[in-house]
Amino acid sequence: MQEIRAKVVLIGSIGVGKTSLVERFVHQKFSNNYLSSIGVRVDSKDVQLNHAKVKLLIWDLAGEIYLSNQYKNYIKGAAGVMLVFDITRPDTYDNIKTVADDISKSHPQISVVIIANKSDLREDPQFKDYIQEGQEFDFLTSAKTGEEVELVFEKLSSDILQNSNILNV
Amino acid sequence: MSAQNDSFDQLRLILLSKDKEEFYQINDDLRIELLHEIEDLKRQLDDPIKFSQKIEGARPQIIDILGPVMGRMIRKYIQSEIEKLNESIQQSKDKFLSKASWRYWFKRDKEMGIHDLESPKLLEILLINKESGLLVSKFSKEQISDPDVVAGMFTAIKSFVETVFDQESNELGLIDYSDHKILLQTYGSYYYAIIFTGVNHVKFKETVLAEVDSFSEKNIIYLNNGVITDTEVTDLSIQMENHFEKVCKKLEQKSY
């Protein structure tokens, strides 16, 4: 069975739920203090696909790193990038598409997915007015309910595997 | 060089925040007394001859004051000062402190409860892809938990420091945490994280880095490539284990 290891980076504005997505997906090993001190927390999780195993090293970047454009230093050597926004806060979608296109252009080997998070709030009357039409995304997730969370990581792992001839260390 | 020192100082501040908190919990009077002693020690350490004479004369008082409250921070401070003193002595080739004197000093340390001020001990060497932070290969004397994640975090810390201090040409070379030290040495697309405990002895560091150089030269084909196949990774891991197992034995035979 083929086995590869790959770096995946989660980026997005402050409070969009990146850390919650990782916590939902992996059994967290390291404290969140890393996020406030150095702006990054790394976790790992094995994803079992049909004929291969992908060990994901997931880099959860603090929102400030995304907003200050420093994320470019952290996506070096990545096989996948997850761009996350909050469906109840339209401002967190601003620039997401542009950033995704930029990454795909400058790092064609990186698989990029856009994630609309907090799907559990889509029916909440309090936020209904904020949810906008026409936003382009690949997955609608909820870290709270777990909706599509596994699916995102599996799909990304599958994409990474297809490119593994150049992505594996 | 000064900017690099500043960077290390700032990183040390971040990593030592817990120690600082513990320190400030110490009774105020005792803390003032300790600070006087530490300041005095600091002055004396600039002149090794005076320092050794002073230590000899004030031994009972030092033991009385420092002994009961010998926490991690003070241990670290003394360890750091010993390292500086050691380096300075080595550089000047001043023979006034014989090996016997050092042994005597270390004996006193143990009586004072500073059990961790021991010879450096190599624990682990991780070979890590510089950009992705993916672990390529490792040598383990004492297994650390989840080396893949640790390799990622080292890379994140390295990126963080190099980004914050905007040091494109310089790279983070040392992480100092509690009794553990991590030397970071870059070769092409990869870097080594060399984890050890004990005193950061110059000769020990030189020996380990020379061995890392030698290993890298033998495997330069792999280390210059950004891509290594699974077979090459396996081959590299075996070679790394063999090479550094011998190095460990060599280091154990030497006394630092």
Only one residue has tokens 């970071």, namely B184
Q: How close A5 comes to chain B (CA, Å)?
A: 7
Q: How confident is the model at residue A166 (pLDDT cuts 50, 70, 90)?
A: very low
Q: How confident is the model at residue A153 (pLDDT cuts 50, 70, 90)?
A: very high
pLDDT at B251: 81
Q: Terminus-to-terminus CA distance in chain A, angstroms?
A: 17
Cβ–Cβ gap A169/B129 under 8 Å: yes
Domain limits of chain A?
2-167
pLDDT at B23: 63
Pairing of β B180-187 and β B174-177? antiparallel
Complex prediction ipTM: 0.81
Q: Does A168 touch chain B if contact means CB atoms closer than 8 Å? A: yes
Q: How close B128 comes to chain A (CA, Å)?
A: 10
Domains of chain B plus CATH, in order, are: 2-111 (no CATH), 121-253 (3.30.450.70)
Q: How close B149 comes to chain A (CA, Å)?
A: 6
- SS3 state at A33: helix
Alpha helices in chain B (DSSP H): 2-15, 17-25, 28-45, 48-66, 72-92, 99-111, 147-164, 202-218, 220-223, 230-253
CB atoms within 10 A of CB A150: 13
Cβ–Cβ gap A169/B156 under 8 Å: no
Q: Which residues of chain B have pLDDT under 70?
A: 1-5, 8, 15, 18-28, 44, 51, 54-55, 59-60, 62-79, 83, 86-87, 89-118, 166-170, 221-230, 255-256
Q: Over the stretch A17-43, which tens digit does the pLDDT of each residue have?
A: 998 899 888 865 555 555 666 788 899
Cβ–Cβ gap B132/A7 under 8 Å: yes
Cβ–Cβ gap A43/B133 under 8 Å: no
**Regarding the domain delimited by A2-167, which CATH topology (the fold level of the hierarchy) does it fall under?**
Rossmann fold (3.40.50)
Q: Over the stretch B32-60, which tens digit does the pLDDT of each residue have?
A: 787 888 887 777 677 777 767 766 777 66
DSSP state letter for B182:
E
pLDDT at B116: 47
pLDDT at A139: 92
Between B73 and A13, name the one with better pLDDT.
Answer: A13
**Residue to substitute from A1, A7, A9, A38, interface B, most B β-carbons within 10 A:** A38
Between B178 and A136, name the one with better pLDDT.
Answer: A136
pLDDT at B201: 76
Q: How confident is the model at residue A4 (pLDDT cuts 50, 70, 90)?
A: confident
Between A132 and A157, name the one with better pLDDT.
Answer: A157
pLDDT at A68: 84
Q: Over the stretch A65-124, which tens digit does the pLDDT of each residue have?
A: 888 888 988 998 899 999 999 999 989 998 899 999 999 999 998 999 999 999 988 888
Cβ–Cβ gap A169/B132 under 8 Å: yes
Nearest alpha carbon to residue A87 among A116, A47, A114 = A116
CA A110 to CA A125: how far, in whole Å?
Answer: 37
Which residues in chain A are contacts of B146 at CB distance < 8 A? 29, 44
DSSP H/E element including A114: strand A111-117
